[in-house]
């Protein structure tokens, strides 16, 4: 009898577990359906308008503003920097008049690459928008998280961020109009309507300002890049990460390329990019237009991930063939506390040729998914 009761108990527990698992699936599907109805989808035909589109789009679930750049002093000392703001819309189905309610969470990352000494610093923070600790407001002309901010002043941007012994105060002036990424107002990320983002870039921002490390301050100049992207899509289950690169070439052109890596080791056909010529004209690049081949890896002592830090990149139809290499190997951010992601983001150098003529420049490389799977809600580049 005891054996029978034990068997019945096991069967009962198994049945309960199955019911719980099924109910959890139903609950998640219900949440996802509600989210899809609550948030907008990125659809073809979107028309960008500035300065409006420099700021928040709360109709979309995920949004980021992304500033990176390569700077140098008059004596040639080189630095890289990153200042990135993230907004994640919260799906709150119940009305709540309190200013403390959480409709949006804002994360931010701040990093400096000290190339000469091969030192990498980064900081992160997470705040809610409801009580004014973070936001992206057109009326204020500002995107901020605490005392880190990007402020639009006319057509230029003022960036300020400080954490401990590290600080930047930079002015960024666009030399070209915004480059709209993708086709017909959308950057398609996977098959299916709405699996896309609205995405534009300020590809050549003339940068001047001051950078501080410890007791030393440096007057710096250089070039920066700004990406702004908003979407409701999630990464598809078979998309395990991406490799993204932005390049400032000395001939006055810019390039942006990204590829999705698939779980089976392949490359997603929705990878894409763009070329911006000297006059600011943008050429769309499909996955068939370029190849990215990893040449050398670096193993992180922090996460154990193996990152390709040297690549060969070719764009045959535009005559481009070059290599990029990390300005220093260790530029990894362990940002699980804010965005749930461990990723490599850092300064790179570029050298190669276009149509047989030597070409060089500097840029930034971002690599995700090498230190584990990405959160399902993570928007892609």
* 132 Cβ contact list (under 8 Å, min separation 6): none
Helix (H, G, I), strand (E, B) or coil at 230: strand
pLDDT above 60 (res 227): yes
Evaluate whether residue 183 is within a structural domain: yes
Q: Nearest to residue 52, comparing CAs of 143, 138, 158?
A: 138
Range of the domain at 299: 50-368
Evaluate whether residue 325 is within a structural domain: yes
Mean pLDDT, the chain, rounded, equals 89
pLDDT-derived band at 21 (thresholds 50, 70, 90) equals: very low
Alpha helical stretches, state H, the chain? 2-38
Evaluate whether residue 61 is within a structural domain: yes
pLDDT above 80 (res 98): no
pLDDT value of position 233: 82
Evaluate whether residue 379 is within a structural domain: no
Evaluate whether residue 13 is within a structural domain: no
Evaluate whether residue 375 is within a structural domain: no
In this structure, what CATH number is given to the domain that contains residue 305? 2.40.370.10
* Token reading at 240: 């395990």
Evaluate whether residue 3 is within a structural domain: no
Q: What is the mean pLDDT of residues 22-47?
A: 64
Evaluate whether residue 186 is within a structural domain: yes
pLDDT value of position 93: 58
Contact 340, 375 (CB under 8 A): yes
Q: What is the mean pLDDT of residues 240-261?
A: 97
CA 267 to centroid of chain Cα atoms: 19
Query: How many domains is the chain built from?
Result: 1
Rounded alpha-carbon distances, angstroms, from residue 77 to 98, 127, 171, 209, 213: 50, 34, 19, 14, 13
CA gap 214, 310 in Å, rounded: 30
pLDDT above 90 (res 26): no
């Amino acid at each position: 009898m005891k054996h029978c009761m034990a068997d019945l108990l096991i069967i009962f527990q198994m049945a309960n577990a199955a019911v719980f698992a099924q109910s959890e699936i139903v609950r998640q599907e219900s949440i996802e359906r509600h989210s899809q109805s609550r948030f907008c989808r990125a659809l073809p035909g979107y028309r960008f308008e500035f300065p409006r589109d420099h700021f928040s789009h709360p109709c979309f679930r995920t949004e980021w503003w992304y500033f990176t750049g390569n700077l140098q002093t008059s004596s040639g000392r080189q630095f890289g920097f990153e200042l990135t703001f993230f907004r994640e819309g919260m799906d709150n189905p119940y009305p709540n008049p309190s200013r403390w309610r959480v409709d949006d969470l804002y994360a931010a990352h701040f990093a400096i690459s000290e190339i000469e000494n091969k030192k990498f610093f980064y900081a992160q923070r997470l705040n809610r928008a409801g009580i004014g600790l973070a936001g992206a407001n057109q009326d204020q002309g500002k995107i901020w998280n605490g005392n880190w901010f990007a402020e639009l002043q006319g057509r230029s941007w003022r960036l300020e961020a400080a954490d401990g012994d590290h600080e930047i105060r930079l002015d960024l002036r666009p030399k070209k109009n915004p480059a709209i990424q993708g086709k017909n107002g959308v950057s398609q990320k996977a098959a299916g309507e709405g699996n896309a983002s609205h995405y534009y870039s300020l590809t050549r921002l003339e940068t001047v300002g001051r950078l501080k490390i410890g007791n030393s301050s440096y007057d710096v100049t250089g070039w920066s890049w700004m990406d702004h992207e908003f979407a409701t899509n999630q990464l598809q289950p078979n998309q395990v990460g991406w490799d993204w690169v932005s390049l400032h070439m000395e001939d006055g052109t810019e390039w942006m390329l990204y590829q999705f890596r698939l779980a089976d080791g392949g490359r997603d056909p929705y990878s894409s990019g763009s070329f911006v010529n000297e006059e600011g004209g943008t050429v769309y690049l499909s996955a068939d237009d370029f190849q990215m081949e990893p040449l050398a890896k670096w193993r992180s002592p922090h996460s154990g991930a193996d990152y390709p830090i040297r690549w060969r990149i070719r764009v045959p139809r535009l005559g481009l063939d070059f290599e990029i290499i990390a300005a220093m190997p260790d530029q990894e951010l362990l940002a699980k506390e804010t965005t749930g992601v461990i990723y490599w983001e850092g300064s790179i150098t570029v050298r190669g040729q276009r149509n047989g003529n030597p070409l060089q420049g500097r840029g930034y490389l971002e690599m995700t998914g090498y230190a584990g799977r990405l959160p399902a809600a993570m928007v892609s580049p």
